[in-house]
Amino acid sequence: MSSARFRPILVTVASGFLSTVQPARAVDAPPPIPTPRPASLPVSPLGPEGRFDLIFADEFAEPELSQDRWTTCYWWDNNGCTNLGNKELQWYVPQNIRVEDGTLILTAKPEEVIGHEGMTFPYTSGMVTSGRYYEEDLSDTRFSTTYGFFEMRAKVPSGQGLWPAFWLLPDNHTSKPEIDIMEVLGHRPGVLELHYHYKKANGDVRQKGHEIETDDLSKNWHVYGLEWSSEEITWYLDGEELWRIEERELISNVPMYLIINLAVGGNWPGAPDESTRFPAELKVDYVRVWQRSP
């Protein structure tokens, strides 16, 4: 393991949409209707001990992306979207999302496209979220939860400028807190990035982060997991605990939704270069969310 390292704050707001923020659902609100569990699914996530109930799952067994579980952009979708706060180079479009042989595939490729306010983006890519679009009501959120174990089995791409991630944001359309279950910078696929961004009581934004040195994550499939409770946040890789935050006063208690994306470029990873191979693909075998049994 290497020492902790912090990255620039991931800004997740876009101009013109802040007026659409709606109140968060109460913390003790009932959880969403559970996704039926196929007989083949395990009875608990990989890593933690104890009893769990499955409350959300997508095995990507259907021929197309489930519109009941996923949207294909941030909530400020406007014929596509991006993250301007990071100065990312991709424009997310649904055409770069497909389900094939039980696998969700998000594809990044060089493709010039006009996006936000007439800006030109040199790449397109794909993302999915379990949230909602800005014109939808809070009740239209596909899936969000307060606390749980979040698990994804995926194969990440490598290459300068590529930035796959699996993370959580509040379903009230604010940008903090943010829990990054996993992030990998394509130019160093042997390092797993773990981060938590939060606001202090006075409104100051702070972050905690950790780097874990691993084998090249792009060579094989891996299971990325995180348990979020009122007491701690714990990160896992292939069932092995990697890091935890135990300062209870820092831990979020608002409902959060899922995001999976393949970014290109930006302040942190830098732009692709001649060594980057396109098209690049983030492949996802499944996504599952559990809650501990009472």
Paired strand residues for 263: 163
This prediction's pTM = 0.87
Please give the CATH architecture assigned to the domain spanning 52-292.
Sandwich (2.60)
Q: Give the pLDDT of residue 22.
A: 32
Q: Give the pLDDT of residue 200.
A: 85
Mean pLDDT, range 34-57, rounded to an integer: 79
Cα dist from 153 to 7, 13, 162, 196, 259, whole Å? 25, 28, 18, 21, 14
Parallel, antiparallel or unpaired: strands 52-58 and 103-114: unpaired
Cα(134)–Cα(81) distance, rounded to whole angstroms?
A: 12
Which pLDDT band holds residue 58 (cuts at 50, 70, 90)? very high
Token look-up 């390092």 returns 191
Please name the amino acid found at residue 228.
W
- Domain coordinates of the chain in residue numbers? 52-292
Tell whether the model's pLDDT for residue 26 goes beyond 60.
Answer: no
pLDDT tens figures, 178-190: 999 999 999 999 9
Catalytic site includes residue 151: no
Which DSSP category does 71 fall into?
B
Which DSSP category does 55 fall into?
E
In degrees rounded to 5, what are phi and psi of residue 249? -70, -15
Q: Which of 262, 84, 235 is nearest to 157 (CA)?
A: 262
Paired strand residues for 194: 210
Find the catalytic residue in 49, 59, 151, 183: 183
pLDDT tens figures, 169-226: 999 999 999 999 999 999 999 999 999 999 888 888 999 999 999 999 999 999 999 9
Catalytic site includes residue 183: yes
Work out the burial of residue 253: count CB atoms within 10 Å of its CB; fewer than 13 is exposed, 13-18 middle, 19 or more buried.
middle
Q: Which two tokens stand for residue 212?
A: 């874990």
Cα(22)–Cα(213) distance, rounded to whole angstroms?
A: 39
Q: Give the pLDDT of residue 31.
A: 43
Find the catalytic residue in 88, 178, 193, 211: 178
Which DSSP category does 142 fall into?
S
